[in-house]
Amino acid sequence: MKRMRTLAGISILALVLAACSSGTTDTAAEETAAALDDSNCAAAESFCVGLVTDIGKVDDKSFNQSAWEGAQAAAAEVGGFAKYIETTDTKDYAANMKQFTDKGYDVIVTVGFLMAEASVAAAKENPNTKFIGVDQFQAEEVANLTGLIFPEDQAGYAAGYLAGLLTKTNKLGQVLGLEIAPVQKFAKGFEAGAKAANANVAVTTVYHPPADNGFGDPVWGAAEAKKQLSQGADIIFGAGGGTGNGALIEIAKAEGAGTSIFCIGVDTDQWGTVPEAQPCLVTSAMKGLVEGTSDLVKAAFDGSIKGGNFNGTTGLADYHDLASAVSADIQAKVAEIVAGLKDGSIMTGVTL
């Protein structure tokens, strides 16, 4: 009995000490943004932006992170507050959104196509809250839900076109995450663009085997990239979150990286997010996630946001230090393609 009392006493003492030493407010490092907190979100003057990630973390160097950066930037610009919740289970989407709606948040950004239905349901239940669904195509218009969609195939096409012109071996490779729609669009776009630029080119396309870690397996990505390189590919497209990053890092190690061997990143300008890849990273097939999210959040702030679909921009990242490896001729041609895709004069021809 005495021992139990001792144990209980020590434990309670420890808890109390911990509680007192860490302050009485419930703040923590991750929820940065502007000055305020979310205690008065319901008030008209305060602007609170919430973000619900897809399964994964906000520092995944991929689209969760980009969307968060966009939301944060927008909130800071308009003097609002931003917070995120990381989803651990697909069944929690609705509950996670509810955390924000219960607190009277003004805008909720939901990231990822898996959340599409949950977003629609939440938007219908909370007509006074604005919802921004990243990668969520709206088949029917819901007034307070805006789907931020991107034509990934266009970004892939532009990257493929560049690769088709740049390749010396006429062999290209793709190291991909799981075989799901957005990745397929990138991949098929890449192949279409490459073939359009260079009819003799052969594109090797490999998806990660179905598994929970399809987008977080840099070991496999690196091994696959190495295999494709040794089989003659001189430009490889890495599209698949962490898996793709592994490929990029491996290619950067290759002899001739940056002069005869190149890698292409995805989603954002990976020059900044994966610095190890810089030796080979000629460009990235980007989805304007940061800008798109930021623009929509600001539009929600000033009331100009509309329901339905909002087309985000896609494009190719800057060539950075490898610009000298891409001849002016090729750069001009690629720029033409990008412009043509944007104004609709060039179609990728990709259907799923």
Partner 1 sequence: MLDFISDNKKSLITLGLVTVIAYVFYFLDEIRTTSVMVFGWGYAVPLVLAAMVGIIGERSGVVNIGIEGQMLMSAFAGFFGSVFTGSIYLGMIIGILTGVLMGAFLAVAAVKWEMDQIIAGVVINIVAAGLTSFFYAQGKTLPELMPVVSIPLLSDIPLIGPVFFRNGLFALSTLFIVVAVNYALFKTRWGLRSRSVGEYPSAADAAGINVTRVRMMNVTLAGALAGCAGAFLALEAAGTFARGLTAGRGFLALAIMIFGAWNPMGALAAALFFGLSTAIASQLQADEVINIPQQFVNLLPFVMTLIVLSIAVGRVRPPAAAGQPYTKEG
Partner 2 sequence: MTITESKKDKDLGFFVRNQSIVVPIAAIFVAFVLGGILISLQGVNPLVAYRAIFSEAWFDSDGLLRTFQKTTPLVLAGLAVTVALRIGLFNIGAQGQLISAALASALAGIYITNLPAILHVIVSLICGVVVGALWAAIAGLLKAYRGVHEVISTIMLNSIAVGILDYLVSNPFREPDQSLQRTKKIAESAILPNFGVIPFGFILAILVCLLVSWMLNRTTAGFRFNTVGKNKFAASYAGINMKLMIVTGMLLSGGLAGLGGAIETLGITYRFEPAFNSGLGFDGITIALLARSNPLATIPAAILVGTLRAGGASLQFNTGIEPEIVDVLLAITLLLVSAPILAKFLFKGKAQKTANVTSGWGS
The residues of the shown chain that bind partner 1, judged by CB under 8 A, are 57, 59, 61, 179, 204-207, 209-213, 216-219, 221-224, 226-228, 230-232, 242, 245-246, 249-250, 253, 273, 275-276
Give the residue from 253, 260, 238, 252 showing the smallest Cα distance to 280: 252
Give the residue from 183, 175, 212, 184 showing the smallest Cα distance to 56: 212
CB of 171 to partner 2, least distance (A): 28
Question: How many residues are recorded in the chain?
Answer: 352
Look at residue 39 and give the partner it binds from partner 1, partner 2, none, a contact being a CB closer than 5 to 8 Å depending on partner kind.
none
Backbone angles phi, psi at 281, to 5 degrees: -75, 100
Number of residues that bind partner 2 (CB under 8 A): 48
Which residues 6+ apart lie within 8 Å of 205 measured at CB?
Answer: 173, 174, 176, 187, 191
| CB closer to partner 2 out of 67 and 229 | 67
Look at residue 351 and give the partner it binds from partner 1, partner 2, none, a contact being a CB closer than 5 to 8 Å depending on partner kind.
none
Residue 189 to residue 7: CA distance in whole angstroms: 64
Residue 130 to residue 158: CA distance in whole angstroms: 33
What are the structure tokens assigned to 175, written together? 């190291």
User: What residues does 205 pair with on adjacent strands?
Assistant: 174
Site track 97-136 with partner 2 (rule: CB under 8 A), x = hit: -xxx------------xx-x--------------------
CB of 218 to partner 1, least distance (A): 4
Look at residue 26 and give the partner it binds from partner 1, partner 2, none, a contact being a CB closer than 5 to 8 Å depending on partner kind.
partner 2
Looking only at residues 85 through 104 of this chain, which bind partner 2 when binding is defined by CB under 8 A? 85-92, 95-96, 98-100
What CA–CA distances, in Å, run from 166 to 25, 172, 196, 200? 56, 10, 13, 13
Q: Which residues would be at the binding site for partner 2 (CB under 8 A)? A: 1, 3-4, 7-8, 11, 14-15, 18-19, 21-31, 55, 57, 83, 85-92, 95-96, 98-100, 113-114, 116, 179-181, 209-212, 352
